[in-house]
Amino acid sequence: MMIADFREIGSQLASAFRLSTRPLAVYGSEIPPVGIPPMVGVNRCFAVSLFKMAAGNELSGIYVSADTSEGCCLGGLYHVGFIPVPADIKYFVSTGRKDVRGGAAEYLKASPELVEHCTMAAGPIHPPGKYLIVQACDVLPDPMPEIKSICCFGNGEQIRNMAALIHFDQDDPFSPVIVPWGSSCSTFITFPAGLAENTPRETAFMGPQDPTQNHSLPPDMMALGIPADMAVRMVNNLDMSFITRRPQVAFPRHVVR
C-alpha cells in the first residue's frame, strides 16, 4: 500500500465528521518509538489508553512489545499477537470454572466452547512488528510509517455518518461495516489492522460491543476501526458525498421526535 499522509487523513476525517476526539493510527516498527511511553506506563488496558489519548492532548501515543508486556492485560497482549491465547480465558469470558480465577466469570458467551470457536474463526494473530504503536494522527512522525488502520471515537451521530460514507462507494450492502464480537482492543486495533489472519478485508469495525469497557467510555461514545486504505478512500469521497453536499442532513440542528 502506498504511504499516504495520515496526519492529513486524520485531520480531514476529524473536521468532516466534527469529532471532538483525535483519530489514532496503528502501525508497527522494528525499533523503539522515540518520545512515546510503553502502554503499561499509562494503563494496563488498550481500550483505556486509546480513549485517553483520543480524548485529550496530554498523551501522544503508546507502544507495546514483548519486552514491555509485564503488567499489561493478558487478553490485550493476546489480541495484538504478543502471546498465545491464555488457556483460562475461555472460562473467564464465559461461564467460569471453580479452579480458574476463583470461579470469576464475565458471562459474555454462553459456553467456553463458543469462545474457542470464535478464537479459531479469527485465526492466528500476528503483531505488525517488534513494536506495536498507536499514535494520534496529528503527531505522526516523518518519514510517515506504514499505517495499518485508524481508530476514531465519536458519538452515535458521528459514527453513523462515518459508516454511511464507508458504504458510499461499495456495492455490498452488508459487510463493509460490521460489529464484531470480542474485546474492545479487537475492535480498535486487531481487526481493522488485519492482525488476525481471518479478518474480513475491506471492512470497518464498529463498537465496541464489549460491556466490560462501559466503565471507561462515556455512555454515548462509540468507535470505528478503519483499515488504512479505506480511510484514504473515505477522504477521497468526502466532496462527492452527503457529508459535504448535504451537511444539514448529516448534522441536523433539530431532531424531529
Q: pLDDT tens string for the chain (257 positions)? A: 446 899 999 999 999 999 999 999 999 999 999 999 999 999 999 999 999 999 999 999 999 999 999 999 999 999 999 999 999 999 999 999 999 889 999 999 999 999 999 999 999 999 999 999 999 999 999 999 999 999 999 999 999 999 999 999 999 999 999 999 999 999 999 999 999 999 999 999 999 999 999 999 999 999 999 999 999 999 999 999 999 999 999 999 866 66
Which amino acid appears at position 213 of this protein? Answer: Q
Contact 168, 5 (CB under 8 A): no
Q: Is 245 helix (H, G, I), strand (E, B) or coil?
A: helix
Contact 96, 88 (CB under 8 A): no
Residue 257: predicted pLDDT? 64
Residue 253: predicted pLDDT? 86
Tell which residue, 188, 246, 240, has the closest CA to residue 216. Answer: 188
Residue 3: predicted pLDDT? 67
Distance CA 178, CA 256 (A): 27
- Global pTM value: 0.95
Contact 250, 15 (CB under 8 A): no
Tell which residue, 154, 205, 212, has the closest CA to residue 183. Answer: 212
H or E stretch covering 7: helix 6-16
Which amino acid appears at position 146 of this protein? Answer: E
Tell which residue, 128, 117, 131, 114, has the closest CA to residue 196. Answer: 128
Residue 1: predicted pLDDT? 41
